[in-house]
Amino acid sequence: MFTNPVKKKLLEGRVSVGTWSVLASPLIGEFLAREGFDYVIVDLEHHPIGLEMAVHYFQAITAGGSVPIARLAYNDHVCIKRALDAGALGVIIPLIKSAAEALKAVEFTRFPPLGQRPYGGGRVGIYGVDYLKRANDEILVMLQIEHRQAVEDLDAILAVEGYDGCFIGPTDLAVSMGLRTPMEGGCAELEDLIADLAQRIRGAGKLLGTVSASAEAWRERVAQGFTFMPLCSDLSFMRQGLNAARRELEEAGLWQSG
């Protein structure tokens, strides 16, 4: 039977640990998967990764033993359909601002009777002959809450059925609200807003996700009830390793900047 172990874990109330891949390399995606992450998110929104490369990513991540998830560029039926048909077992859909947009996301990601996703066969056949029957239950659908309008319409968004959870995007949320972003050090008002959103999302019975730039931040979000928090990314892991090596060489007098 076709199952999604990440969604199963989340629905059981357990934390699922994953990461992002942004460096446009399916090989890196495979290495990340083999490190034991539950899932690897391929970022098709902000990074130069097209559908053809995404297919190879999904193959590599699956071969490495993780679940492939795609963050899409837009809440669009073509983007969603093609990513799912290429083998993604979950999607994160950005910039959901209203209940109408949430309904559209459900329509595009779910087969009838929940939605209007068409079935085209193809690569999804690797997940078994029961894919069509099981996909509505097994595909993870997370909607990004990252705009002032989404905050204002959150109750209506949460009343929409057919998607699994909300993924809070703190940086874009802060920009939209005119607050200091996490990259600028954040602010208490932003943290209060995230805490309020988290409480309302969990109270509506939806899964709760966000980004996490460090293990310390990850633990703090777990305490708030977040269970879907990709930790860092391949790029940030590379930078962390590079910076650590450079500091060691500088301390030994073997690295001189400039």
For residue 182, whether the previous peptide bond is cis, meaning omega lies within 30 degrees of 0, is no
- What distance in Å separates the CA atoms of residue 218 and residue 229, rounded to the nearest whole number? 7
Neighbouring residues of 162: CB distance < 8 A, sequence distance ≥ 6 = 106, 109, 110, 114, 115, 141
Tell me which of 46, 47, 56, 77 is the catalytic residue: 46
> Any catalytic annotation for residue 147?
no
Give the residue numbers marked as catalytic: 46
